[in-house]
Amino acid sequence: DQMLQDVNDYDLPDEAWADTSSEEWISRMQALFPGRAVSAAVWDEGSRINLNTVSISMLRRLFKEDKSAVDSVMDWRDTDQDAREFGAEQPFYARQTPPLKCRDSLLGHKSELKLVRAAGEHYERIKDMITTYGMVNPNILSPDVFESFCCGVGIDDFVAERLARELNDLQEKNIRLKNYDDLLQMPSMHRKHLEMLDGLFVFGGLYNVNFLTADQTACILSECGIAAEEAQFVFRGTRKFRTVDDLIAAMIAAGMDEGVQDYARQLVTVSSSVFGINVSVECGENSRYNIDAIVRRFREKPDDRQWVLEVLYWKEGLLSSPSEGGDEPSANVGAG
């Protein structure tokens, strides 16, 4: 309810929907689960780094220049069988015990990273920085990942390959896509394809700086030429932005070249669209009922003030220990 009632155009960590320690949150939880100890958390899932769309340069920073981890993630999510210099494809995973199947497609859950050669070693350090559920901006999306998204929704492989080339042409011409209809500038894109892709894309900033940790801030803003030290100083948690213009001004003050403002507006924002929710209810001395969800909040029309919520992921069940739950590889990845 609090997410739906939030009518402003910015999102901050201290707003009612995010403050699970508030009296309103606590009273709601007590009403739902009378007599039980309940804990809850809400966070901006969309401002975590999306493993499916992150650029190679950002992957390098995320994995602290671990070439094997970077190349292996790229091999895991691409559709070919050609291993990169430091990466791995199916022959490597077939030799593991037990044998694994390389996905060769977009990751279904961030915990798949634990299966990927070399990348799994970084998982515990970065697991709260990453996601597979964030929104996607085709203006700054690599064509090969765009092709994977097209294939993933059922667009013919041959058509998807053509669409990827056509998106690359638009990007090279610096043509900015402002809405779904603008995708029709690609000759191979038809209305039926737009319907298949509906709900996947946004045509503005992706990462809400108001919710980024210091490491996330340094990683993301370095894409705009801002040094890590400056990013962490200027965007320390006490600084809250309510407009994109204020955010861009702060980025320029932190060392961003004014010439990359347009790119920056495609990368960062002050509003959130994808949220993670966890509710945990104690059921006994050694058990609890746990609910994990990812939801997308959007307006059906740009001029609407009414929000709509869509559930992207839902997992619930009785857990026997606090360490269980919410962090398992997708079921269709594993033994080959």
**What is the CATH classification number for the domain harbouring 25?**
3.10.450
Write out the residue range of the structural domain in which residue 299 sits.
2-47+273-319
Number of domains making up the chain: 4
**pLDDT score at 333:** 40
In this predicted structure, the answer to whether residue 140 has a pLDDT above a threshold of 70 is yes
Looking at the structure, do residues 165 and 192 belong to the same domain, yes or no?
yes
CA distances to 9, 219, 242, 259 from 238, in Å? 19, 19, 13, 27
Q: Please tell me the distance from the alpha carbon of residue 254 to that of residue 31, in angstroms, as a whole number.
A: 47
Looking at the structure, do residues 61 and 111 belong to the same domain, yes or no?
yes
b/e sequence 85-116, b meaning 16+ C-beta within 10 Å:
ebbbbbeebeeeeeebebbebbbbbbbbbbbb
**pLDDT score at 205:** 93
Would you say residue 70 lies in a domain? Answer: yes
Looking at the structure, do residues 100 and 54 belong to the same domain, yes or no?
yes
Would you say residue 325 lies in a domain? Answer: no
**pLDDT score at 239:** 67
Most confident listed range (129-133, 229-233, 327-331)? 129-133
Would you say residue 27 lies in a domain? Answer: yes
Would you say residue 329 lies in a domain? Answer: no
Question: What does pTM read for this prediction?
Answer: 0.84
Mean pLDDT throughout 103-132? 94
